[in-house]
Amino acid sequence: MSQSIQDSIALVTGANRGIGKAIVEALLARGAAKVYAGARNPDSLADLVAASGGKVVPLQLDVTDQGQVDAAASAASDATIVVNNAGVALHGDMFDNSLKGPEREFAVNYWGVLRMTRAFAPQLKTRGSGTIANVSSIAGLTNFPMFPTYSDSKAAVHSLTQGTRHLLTGTGVKVLGVYPGPVDTDLAKDIEFTKETPANVANTILDAIESGAEEVFTDEMARDYAPAYEAGHKALELGTREMLAQEQA
Ligand SMILES: NC(=O)c1ccc[n+]([C@@H]2O[C@H](COP(=O)([O-])OP(=O)(O)OC[C@H]3O[C@@H](n4cnc5c(N)ncnc54)[C@H](OP(=O)(O)O)[C@@H]3O)[C@@H](O)[C@H]2O)c1
């Protein structure tokens, strides 16, 4: 089952910069009819909106704010592609005395995706089609000790993605897990690795949405993780799916 980007209506969180902005631009380049661009400060979307010929609809959307998430689900009830991209990496010392950094990482990266999923999944399910794409990270598959609590939050996104996929199996709604390695954005500015461009990552994500894939590894470093993922995490997920299907039969 595949989903065409041409003439589609999409919503992207964290759309004002980095990977999110690149996804909006890539959606437009592939002929999306309308893109709801979520940002905490809609003024930061001005250039995207101005360049889009009316196709980008700005939405005030802080994913930690339940009222704004509910308002977005209502305003964008015609969206068939929902990209949960917004994220933060606060790179704190795991052993310091404050939980502020990890709590913020979980509030945005995990609870934000859960809020969005709860708001949008029912309407996609009713339509019987669409894609929810959740941006996790290869750091969600194995903990990177330079950002341990960020990795924890991305592991939670990975698990949430699997759970959402299990629950939406058979509804026509696809759930895509996105696993980038280092990408050249503000979030990764202090990381020394070779970084992929946001534009290439965005196009790889859209290819995956169009092909109906269940996960995508968006760059060279991430693709090195794919074989171990397929043999490990994915094999366990598919085994669980089969076991549940047999129990329900
Ligand atoms: N860059 C990498 O190497 C890398 C690797 C793996 C995964 N990722 C993931 O890719 C996604 C995009 O990150 P990026 O690299 O593009 O980082 P970025 O350039 O720092 O962009 C982060 C985006 O998230 C938004 N955001 C932060 N808190 C938010 C909130 N509470 N509600 C709504 N939006 C919020 C930011 O908006 P403001 O401008 O308002 O702050 C910004 O638009 C994240 O989920 C990140 O974890 C990135």
Any idea which architecture 9-248 has in CATH?
Answer: 3-Layer(aba) Sandwich (3.40)
Three-state DSSP state, 116 = helix
Taking only the tens place, the pLDDT of each residue in 140-189 is 999 999 999 999 999 999 999 999 999 999 999 999 999 999 999 999 99
Q: Would you list the DSSP string of 190-241?
A: T--S--B-HHHHHHHHHHHHHHT-SEEE-SHHHHHHHHHHIIIIIHHHHHHH
Catalytic residue from among 150, 179, 225, 229: 150
CB neighbourhood size of 86 (10 A):
26
When the pLDDT of each residue in the chain is averaged and rounded to a whole number, the result is: 96
Residue whose CA lies nearest to ligand 1 atom number 37 = 14
Residue whose CA lies nearest to ligand 1 atom number 21 = 18
Taking only the tens place, the pLDDT of each residue in 6-25 is 999 999 999 999 999 999 99
Select from 187, 218, 220, 225 the residue to mutate for testing ligand 1; criterion: most ligand atoms less than 8 Å from CB: 187
**In angstroms, what is the span from residue 19 Cα to ligand 1's centroid?**
7
The model's pTM? 0.97
Does 150 participate in catalysis according to the annotation?
yes
Please determine, for residue 101, whether its predicted confidence score (pLDDT) is greater than 60: yes
**In angstroms, what is the span from residue 244 Cα to ligand 1's centroid?**
34
Please determine, for residue 1, whether its predicted confidence score (pLDDT) is greater than 70: no
Residues in contact with ligand 1 by the CB-under-6-Å rule are: 13-14, 16-20, 39-41, 44, 61-64, 85-89, 108, 135, 137, 180, 182-183, 185-188
> Mean pLDDT across the stretch 182-210?
97
> Mean pLDDT across the stretch 63-78?
98
Q: How confident is the model at residue 82 (pLDDT cuts 50, 70, 90)?
A: very high
**In angstroms, what is the span from residue 197 Cα to ligand 1's centroid?**
14
Residues forming beta bridges with residue 216, ordered by sequence position = 178
Share of the chain above pLDDT 70, in %: 100
* Domain ranges, ordered by start, for the chain: 9-248
CB 135 within 8 A of CB 85: yes
For residue 17, the ligand 1 atom closest to its alpha carbon is: 43
